[in-house]
Structure formats: structure tokens, C-alpha cells
Amino acid sequence: MENANSDRPDWFEYWPIRNYLHTMPLDESALYGFVSPRFHEKTGLSAAEVSRFIQSSEDADVYSFSPFPCHGASFLNVFEHMDFFFNGFVDHVAGFFAKFDPALDLRQLVNHSDNAIFSNFFFAKPAFWREWSRICDQLHEDTKDGQHFLNSECTYTKGDGSTKIVQAKVFAMECVASYLLARSRKFSSIGYPLRLMPVSRAFETLRLETSLLDELKRQWLKTGEAKFLEQYRLEQKRVIAVGWPGRNV
């Protein structure tokens, strides 16, 4: 997906996705994905490998190809992940998501490697895209007010150490797919195996720990037994101390 000449660069990839979904007919039997030109660089996957994985997997509404599973595993959900880097994010975004899900507690939501989406790196059936679009379009409508808190600017440090300014609404948009998959029983999802995905340099020696964190979240979600969450939080602290020295969740 090319976005170099967007007339709304403040929205990053949402804008061309929005334009496509609003103007093009969708084939209900097809999967659609809108990924960055850097998809191969970030995932190491070719189009043929993506196609083979989907064709060899069980039928699902969404197929995720999220690199850096160390980030997804190290936090209970995508909102906690964002809050780690942009303090206060959860408090600011909670009101928006409550419009769609009044009972939602963002601090208790669970994402794992099958339903945590990195930077919209997923392919999905039209029904999922329509629900995604409904929420993102409301986000677009709400943030037309220049004073909206989700228009606040965040300084984002990229992997190469350079920085760029991104409005909080973009990070909220990037959480929508993971939120839907974690909360809605209407949609099924399958993630590319986390053990085969690239990880950040600091996590190259922590692949076993990354898999353990992911499994502990799955067990807590499956059983509701507090011991799994307690163990997750203990392991999480150890991993974060190595991955992000000097930081605490």
C-alpha cells in the first residue's frame, strides 16, 4: 500500500485504507490486506509465503502477520503496550472505546499472538473490515475537533533511533483490530507462528521467555485462574528489565 502522496498524512495508513473501503466493492469470499511497502523488511515474509500460510491454515476471519512478538508478549494487551511508551494512553483512549463497549476494562483485556496485530499487518474478510471501519470512522469523526485529546502529539522513536511526531489518534487506530479480535466472538483469527517472526535485537536471547509470556496469557484467558496472571506479571517484569533496561511496567 503506497501512502506517499496522501492528502491526510496525519492519519498515516488509515487514510488510504479508508478511501478504499469507502469506494470499492468487496468480494465476500476474498481476503483483503493493506500493508506497508516495508512488510517484507519487517516480517521477512514474501507474498508467496503469506499465501501459503493462509491456504494451509484453517478457515478464519483474520490472518495476522505481526513481527516483533516480543512486544506483543511483553504486555497484557496492545493498550498496555502503548501506555508503556506513551504514559497515560490507556486513560485517554478508554473513553473512546467505551462508546462501543461500555463494560470494557482496557487494563484487563488479553491479547496473544493470534489476536495482537502489529501496524495493521493482517488480512481479513470484508465483515471484519466493515467493523474495523465503523470504529475507525468514528475515531475520525471525533478527532475533527482539534482540541480532542487524541490529537495530542507523541514522539515516536523508530528502530534506527530516529524520531517522528505522531498524533495519539494513529496509535488508537492501530489498536482497533486487536481490540475487536480480543472482545468480539464474531471473528476468528490465526497468527503466523511467533517463533518464526523477527524480534528486536534486545530480545534475540529471550525467545523462550517470549513464548512463555504468550502461553501464560493464553492460559489465564482460557482458565481464569489467577495463578497464570500472577506468573505472567512476574515473568513480564524480568523480561522488561532486560528488553528495556531501567523501565517498569
- For residue 196, give the H/E element and its range: none
In sequence order, which residues have a C-beta less than 8 Å from that of residue 32 and are 6 or more positions away?
26, 123, 124, 125, 126, 129
Looking at the domain assignment, is residue 158 inside a domain? yes
pLDDT in tens, the chain (249 residues): 667 778 899 999 999 999 999 999 999 999 999 999 999 999 999 999 999 999 999 999 999 999 999 999 999 999 999 999 998 999 999 999 999 999 999 999 999 999 999 999 999 999 999 999 999 999 999 999 988 999 998 887 766 777 888 999 999 999 999 999 999 999 999 999 999 999 999 999 999 999 999 999 999 999 999 999 999 999 999 999 999 998 887
Are 69 and 121 in contact by the 8 Å Cβ rule? The answer is no
126: DSSP letter = H
Angle, helices 14-23/126-142, rounded to nearest 10 degrees: 120
Q: How far apart are CA 117 and CA 64, in angstroms?
A: 6
Helix (H) or strand (E) holding 212: helix 207-223
> Which residue in 125, 139, 111, 141 sits closest to 214, CA to CA?
111
Note the pLDDT of residue 125.
99
Alpha helices in 10-107 (DSSP H): 14-23, 39-43, 47-56, 69-73, 78-85, 89-98
**124 falls within a domain:** yes
Asked if residue 176 belongs to a domain, the reply is: yes
In a domain, 236, yes or no: no
Our count of domains for the chain comes to 1
Domain limits at 156? 9-202
Compute φ and ψ for 191, nearest 5 degrees. -105, 145
pLDDT of amino acid 3 = 74
Sign of CA dihedral 192, 72, 244, 160: positive
Asked if the structure places residue 247 within a domain, the reply is no
Predicted pLDDT of residue 157? 73
- Cα–Cα distance, 192 to 53 (Å, whole number): 8
Domain presence at residue 218: no
**Position 237 in a domain:** no
Q: How far apart, in whole angstroms, are the C-alpha atoms of residue 171 and residue 187? A: 22
Using CA atoms in the order 247, 215, 135, 23, what is the torsion angle rounded to 10 degrees?
Answer: 110
| DSSP letters spanning 47-70 | HHHHHHHHHHSPP-SEEE--S-HH
Residue 198 lies in a domain: yes
